[in-house]
């Protein structure tokens, strides 16, 4: 069985470019990803992770339904305000949700196993406005969403299941009210608390490490590779300079997407196609927040020139030796003939 939440865990950072620390300057996203697997009418496996930007904040232990915080400060921040109340009630929410899904499964005569995913949270903008969101999916497809503005559930697919779920949830007026509060006020204040307690972690900066090397898929082709890794936060600029001029985007330039490393840093590579020995100089330039106003410049050193000269000298030397040897042999023979 695949773990969809693991999949989401890996890809969430990719979906949220440029979201990082300073609440004064950047938008912040707090989101919760929950995956529920219902194998049969009497079982439910719940897993859940919460992120602030690309930082995991807490996760649910699927065995005991207990919350594990990734950082001591995340626990501290969650001990304040609405979050404390919510945390003391989330097991009740989970139990109700499990019961509701089984009830719907029976009414809609769904076949087990069922996978229900919930993606909920809020975005807090630098101007202190925020908007909440909640999406529910079933079997890997969008089912319904909560529209914060109109305070109502919206179908995300045309099916009797989506209609049934929307109808039953709409009839539970209390849920709408609670959700509205959770996704706006509680979520927003939780972001501010997390930013307050987790400032050091959220403002963490890791320097990029860059290496330049070449690949020669064919004798007429030279691919210059600039590999940059170990940096944090995610936004970065990597460019190739040809004779000091930035190479514009085009078919010769191929820059990968930014991929996460296991240690909460990122990596990417930029590949430039060039002709071997074209007489140009090439340099990879990296700019990143951790470097301040400086740039990292890594020149491409064409090591292939040195061996070429070396071989040329060796060949010349061999030719010279052979000629001398030939001359000596010829003289010897002449001498022999003479005697």
Ligand X SMILES: *[C@@H]1O[C@H](CO)[C@@H](O)[C@H](O)[C@H]1NC(C)=O
* Sites of contact with ligand X (CB under 6 A): 39-40, 42-43, 125, 127, 129, 251, 254
Name which of 189 and 254 has its Cβ closer to ligand X.
254
Closest to ligand X by CB, 14 vs 207, is 14
Cβ-based neighbour number of residue 151 at 10 Å: 11
CB 315 to ligand X: min, Å: 36
Residue 124's φ and ψ, nearest 5 degrees, are: -110, 120
Q: Evaluate the omega torsion of the peptide bond into residue 61 and state whether it is cis, within 30 degrees of 0.
A: no
Strands laid side by side in the 296-299 sheet: 245-246, 237-242, 282-287, 296-299
The residues, ordered by sequence, that sit 6+ positions from 136 with a Cβ below 8 Å of its Cβ are: 116, 117, 118, 119, 142, 143, 144, 145, 165
- Least Cβ distance, residue 155 to ligand X (angstroms): 26
30 vs 144 by CB, closer to ligand X: 30
Minimum CB separation of residue 291 from ligand X in Å reads 26
Nearer to ligand X, 42 or 160 (CB): 42
How many C-alpha atoms does 99 have within 13 Å on its Cβ side? Answer: 6
Q: Which residue, 40 or 304, has its beta carbon nearer to ligand X?
A: 40
Nearest-approach distance from CB 279 to ligand X, in angstroms:
23
**Nearer to ligand X by C-beta: 39 or 211?**
39
CA dihedral 145, 149, 150, 154 (to 10 degrees): -10
Question: What minimum distance in Å lies between the beta carbon of 214 and ligand X?
Answer: 15
Residue 43 per-residue DSSP state: -
Element (H, E) at 291: none
Task: Return the percent helix, strand and coil in the chain, to nearest 5.
Answer: 35, 35, 30
Shortest gap between Cβ of 147 and ligand X (angstroms)?
17
């Amino acid at each position: 069985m695949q773990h969809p939440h693991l999949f989401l865990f890996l890809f969430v950072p990719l979906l949220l470019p440029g979201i990082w620390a300073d609440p004064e300057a950047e938008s912040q996203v707090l989101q919760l990803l929950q995956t529920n697997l219902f194998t049969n009418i009497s079982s439910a496996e719940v897993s859940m992770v919460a992120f602030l930007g690309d930082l995991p904040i807490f996760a649910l232990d699927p065995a005991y339904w207990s919350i594990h915080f990734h950082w001591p400060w995340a626990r501290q921040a969650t001990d304040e305000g609405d979050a404390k109340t919510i945390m003391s009630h989330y097991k009740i929410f989970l139990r109700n949700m499990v019961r509701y899904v089984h009830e719907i499964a029976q009414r809609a005569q769904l076949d087990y196993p069922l996978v229900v995913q919930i993606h909920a949270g809020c975005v807090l903008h630098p101007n202190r406005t925020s908007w909440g969101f909640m999406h529910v999916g079933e079997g890997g497809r969008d089912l319904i969403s909560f529209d914060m503005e109109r305070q109502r559930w919206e179908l995300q697919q045309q099916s009797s299941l989506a209609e049934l779920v929307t109808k039953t949830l709409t009839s539970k007026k209390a849920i709408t009210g609670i959700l509205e509060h959770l996704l706006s006020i509680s979520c927003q204040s939780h972001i501010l608390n997390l930013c307050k307690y987790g400032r050091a972690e959220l403002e963490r900066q890791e320097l990029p490490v860059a290496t330049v090397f070449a690949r020669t898929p064919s004798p007429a082709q030279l691919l210059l590779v600039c590999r940059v890794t170990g940096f944090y936060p995610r936004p970065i600029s990597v460019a190739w300079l040809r004779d000091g001029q930035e190479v514009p985007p085009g078919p010769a330039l191929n820059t990968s997407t930014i991929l996460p490393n296991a240690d909460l840093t990122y990596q990417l590579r930029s590949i430039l196609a060039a002709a071997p020995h074209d007489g140009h100089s090439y340099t990879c330039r990296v700019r990143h927040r951790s470097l301040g106003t400086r740039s990292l410049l890594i020149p491409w050193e064409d090591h292939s020139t040195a061996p070429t000269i070396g071989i040329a000298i060796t060949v010349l030397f061999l030719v010279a030796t052979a000629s001398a040897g030939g001359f000596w042999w010829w003289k010897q023979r002449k001498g022999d003939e003479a005697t």
